Amino acid sequence: MSQELLTPALAKKRLLSLDVLRGITIAGMILVNNPGTWSHIYAPLRHAAWNGCTPTDLVFPFFVFCMGIAMYISHKKTNHAFTWPVVNKVITRGMLIIMIGWALSWLGMFLGQITNGETLLYSIWTYPIEHIRILGVFPRLGLVSIFGGLLMLAAKPKNCPWVAAVLMIIYCIMQSVTNSFFLNAANMESIVDLKLLGDNHIYHMTNAAGERIGFDPEGVLSTIPCVAHVLIGAWMGHLIMNVKDNWGKVTRLLLAGAVMMLVGFLLDYTYPINKSMWSASYILVTCGLASSLLAILTWVLDIRLLERNAKEATTKCEMATKKVANNWYKFFECFGVNPLFIFCLSAIAVYVMRSIRFEYHEQMYNVWSFWYKVCMQPLFGNEGGSLACALSLVLVLWGIAYLLYRKKIYIKL
């Protein structure tokens, strides 16, 4: 293999297909989280209102699935030993991710209040303390990283599916006993979140009746099945990293994916697929889809790509064609090797752009709204312009990710 065809993933014996899948999910998360305006979004880029699953509802669980595999690979170096240094590392990393989430939430509130003309003390301390969302994407990732990591080390990876099954069964029983299948004030997750976190510190959703309900999609109780989700990812890591040939990995991924999707869709009749509640059927279906996509990427990248690279090109034309054909995955790999850093950067960039206000043609804009209303909307229309804004942010962040990739800089969180 020539040196120019080596990638950071291949050079470091990383799982290239996993980096690419993780990159796809991060690019997807940035895309769906940052439309030009929330008033105009294409249907596939919206979350399901309650039950059901859209393409947007796949990106976060795919990342949790990848986190589980990466967790297995990371701890494989210590033979998954349940020792204090390893436990301390798991807890420290998880707490760091949680605190980054709180810091990002604080930054958004601080910039918003300062922009609205509030005092410095109120913007720095009073308003965030009264309104900061305690749980969210990063706190959820931190919590499942801690509890999932500790359970994997304690039970060992081969037993992860049994631990995950117990957690999902417990959660299903809780849903059944409390009849918490609807978005209303009687939902057990809403009650627990309101009691433990308070109305000002959780997300609010609107139900079919038009009522605003204090319900956090990353709430306290739904963290339990999400831990099961990351354990399934760790188990998949155990399955695929203990076979030497890539065809064996593909077979195991496809088989496991098919079984999980079948069980998940059957379970949907009793426990509906629901991202907001992170239902057991949602876990199994999304893990099955993620496993199947990882199988496809393993075949395309870890098998076919290496086979093509092993063959010498006989003409310059063939070499040029080969280089283009082999480089398509790098767009996503750039995101995949620094996923959480790039995702943090996307939030910071949008917060800053929304806090910079100016007047244009006697109307007030911030940088982000100007980019949508004045630049993108006239060219592509309401929904198209909103999507164009999100895509432009993805491309700018890819440029930063690509520079880090070229310089082989990996920022681990």
pLDDT in tens, 189-232: 999 999 999 999 999 999 988 899 999 999 999 999 999 999 99
Residue 237, C-beta contacts closer than 8 angstroms, at least 6 positions apart: 68, 69, 70, 71, 72, 73, 157
What's the confidence (pLDDT) of residue 163? 97
Beta-ladder partners of 274: 51, 52
When comparing pLDDT for 321 and 21, which is higher? 21
Residue 321's pLDDT band (cuts 50, 70, 90)? very low
Mean pLDDT of all residues in 252-274: 97
Kindly indicate the confidence band of residue 326, based on its pLDDT and cuts at 50, 70 and 90. low
Give the structural domain span for 391.
7-46+317-413
Q: Does the structure show a pLDDT above 90 at 11?
A: no
* High-pLDDT (> 70) share of the chain, %: 92
What was the pLDDT predicted at 308?
Answer: 67
Decide if 358 is inside a domain: yes
Comparing 252 with 325, the larger pLDDT belongs to 252
Q: Is beta strand 212-214 parallel, antiparallel or unpaired with respect to 204-206?
A: antiparallel
Is residue 256 included in any domain, yes or no?
Answer: no
Per cent of the chain over pLDDT 90 is 83
Cα 299 to Cα 71: distance, rounded to the nearest angstrom: 22
pLDDT greater than 80 at residue 377: yes
- What pLDDT shows up at residue 251? 94
State how far the Cα of 65 lies from the Cα of 59, in Å rounded to an integer.
Answer: 10
Please state the three-class secondary structure of the chain as a single string. Answer: CCHHHCCHHHHCCCCHHHHHHHHHHHHHHHHHHCCCCCCCCCHHHCCCCCEECCCHHHHHHHHHHHHHHHHHHHHHCCCCCCCHHHHHHHHHHHHHHHHHHHHHHHHHHHHHHHHCCCCHHHHHHHHHHHHCCCCCHHHHHHHHHHHHHHHHHHHCHHHHHHHHHHHHHHHHHHHHHHCCCCCCCCCHHHHHHHHHCCHHHCCEEECCCCCEEECCCCCCCCHHHHHHHHHHHHHHHHHHHCCCCHHHHHHHHHHHHHHHHHHHHHHCCCCCCECCCCCHHHHHHHHHHHHHHHHHHHHHHHHHHHHHHHCCCCCHHHHHHHHHHHCCCHHHHHHHCCHHHHHHHHHHHHHHHHHCEEEECCEEEEHHHHHHHHHHHHHHHHHHHHHHHHHHHHHHHHHHHHHHHHCCCCCCC
Report pLDDT for 413.
75
pLDDT of residue 307: 63
pLDDT single digits (tens) 332-372:
999 999 999 999 999 999 999 999 999 998 899 999 999 99
pLDDT at 35 over 80: yes
User: Quick check: is 353 in a domain?
Assistant: yes
Q: What is the mean pLDDT of the chain?
A: 90
Residue 86 in any domain: the answer is no
Between CA 178 and CA 183, with CA 180 as vertex, the angle to 5 degrees is 145
How much is the pLDDT for 305?
Answer: 73
Structure confidence at residue 55 (pLDDT): 95
**What's the pLDDT at 13?**
55
Closest Cα partner for 189 from 175, 176, 200? 175
Task: Indicate whether 29 belongs to any domain.
Answer: yes
- 98 vs 101: CA distance, rounded Å: 5
How many domains does the structure of the chain reveal? 1
| Within a domain: 59 | no
The predicted structure's pLDDT at residue 246: 82
The pLDDT of residue 15 is: 82
Q: Tens of pLDDT along 122-165?
A: 999 999 999 999 999 999 999 999 999 999 999 999 999 999 99
Whether 42 is covered by a domain: the verdict is yes
In a domain, residue 373? The reply is yes
